[in-house]
Amino acid sequence: MATVEAMPKKKLGTVARLSELDKSLRNRLLRVRSRLLFILHSTIGAGVAYWIAVEIAGHHTPFFAPMSAVIILGLSGGDRLKRATELTLGCALGVGVGDLLIMQIGTGYWQMFAVVGLALLVASFVSPAPLVSNQMAIGGILISTMFPPGNNGSIDRMFDAFIGGAVGIVVIALLPSSPLSAGRLSIANVLGIAASVLEDVAEALKTQDAAKLNHALEALRKSQASVNKLETAASSGKELVTVSPFLWGDRAKIRSLYRILGPVDNVIRNARVLARRAVVLTEDNDSVSKEQIHIIEEIADIALHLSSLYEKNHEVSEAIEIPELVRRLRYLGSQVGPEVADGRVLSAQVVLAQSRSIIVDLLQICGMSRESAVAVLVPTSESPAYPPEVWDDEDETEQH
């Protein structure tokens, strides 16, 4: 899979970027790579659960053992172990209740009402968790329709469900997935989308093409799923490093990843606001200065570089490239004073303000505190909250 990492991240418009996330060969391969461990987990979990149920428990057709294991291992996000326990309990109890009831009343239309109703009543008494109720109802339905009970069926099948759930939980703890990979990929996707939005904005401001921006914004509304994955991936990683001793060494990295979720989310939000204001500006036939367009293009390029770094996950590359990106951002911070939009309409002033905000967000992603990142900006107030530490001409001379 090294060839996937080696492929460079190219500049794309917003519509093309969002399409690429789902349809391009490159991202399909990345998706397969990111799910390899889940596939391995499910394969091992199902096989081990089936073996235990057959060889140790002595059950001849332990359908519910591998099924429960795969369901448990398919969980993602935060509170995974808690939800895994709830699913195991719900599945096992649902199978048991369904088996016992169907053995007494048989199968049919009215029996289905009785099985589902009783399963949900018992689930509500046992646990307040919706997952328990859902799994109990599903277990009862399976017994009612596909697996009519036989001799001693209720005990065996309920035990099989417990076996599968327990195996799934053990696999999660003993064969943990990387707590960083999913989070880094989500961050890379969001930063890539933000870079594309800003590229579209810069191009539209050059050509006064409001229609292009409207089209990009319409596509951008469909990107919320990528943003939502940020919190899910981070919560899942945080839980894994807590429960698995094999990942305790990654706790600091997970904390660092969790720390930048806010700035990453802010980048895409500020890019959307900037794009919407750019639409208003172009529809009004107003314009921004050439310096503002250059600033937006530079911000887009830096966001794309960060996206590529997070996707590749090479610590050596980050140690070399992030300081250079910080240098570029610091220089940009000295170029975004009020004079850049002097004499321009309110929309141009808003575009400048959003550009300043995104610079702060990107600096935080690079490792700066918010206070230090804000201090990089050339001040717009006579009494700034944080003493300015902006780039000056001597810094530029030293770099060359």
What six digits make up the tokens of 354? 């959003």
Q: Write down the pLDDT at residue 348.
A: 92
Q: In terms of domains, do 296 and 350 share one?
A: yes
Q: In terms of domains, do 118 and 192 share one?
A: no
Q: In terms of domains, do 205 and 347 share one?
A: yes
Q: Write down the pLDDT at residue 7.
A: 43
Per the structure, the complete domain to which residue 199 belongs is given by 181-399
Q: In terms of domains, do 53 and 101 share one?
A: yes
Q: Which of 174, 206, 241 is the last residue of a domain?
A: 174
Q: In terms of domains, do 64 and 36 share one?
A: yes
Please name the residue that has the structure tokens 């994955």.
229
Q: Write down the pLDDT at residue 67.
A: 85
Q: In terms of domains, do 114 and 189 share one?
A: no
DSSP 335: T
C-alpha to C-alpha distance for 305 and 391, rounded to whole angstroms = 21
Q: In terms of domains, do 165 and 193 share one?
A: no
The end-to-end CA distance of the chain, in Å, is 39
Q: In terms of domains, do 117 and 19 share one?
A: yes
Q: In terms of domains, do 167 and 234 share one?
A: no
C-alpha to C-alpha distance for 304 and 311, rounded to whole angstroms = 11
Which CATH number fits the domain that encloses residue 337? 1.20.58.220
Write the CA distances from 73 to 83, 167, 244, 255, 263, integer angstroms: 11, 9, 15, 24, 31
pLDDT in 10s for each residue of the chain, 400 residues: 333 343 446 677 666 676 666 666 766 776 777 678 788 888 999 999 999 999 998 888 888 889 888 888 877 655 666 777 777 777 777 777 777 787 788 777 888 888 888 888 887 887 777 777 777 788 778 777 766 655 445 578 788 888 988 898 888 777 766 666 777 878 888 898 899 889 989 998 998 888 888 877 877 776 666 666 666 666 666 666 665 666 666 666 677 777 888 899 899 999 989 999 999 999 899 989 999 999 999 999 999 999 988 887 666 577 788 999 999 999 999 999 999 988 899 999 999 999 999 999 999 999 899 999 999 999 888 778 777 776 655 455 455 4
Q: Which of 127, 159, 174 is the last residue of a domain?
A: 174
Beta strands in the chain (DSSP E): none
CB 361 within 8 A of CB 331: no
CB 119 within 8 A of CB 94: yes
Q: Write down the pLDDT at residue 24.
A: 64
Q: What pTM does this model have? A: 0.67
Q: In terms of domains, do 242 and 342 share one?
A: yes
Q: Side-chain half-sphere of 297: how many Cα atoms within 13 Å?
A: 11
Q: Write down the pLDDT at residue 6.
A: 38
Please name the residue that has the structure tokens 């069926």.
153
Q: Which of 174, 199, 227 is the last residue of a domain?
A: 174
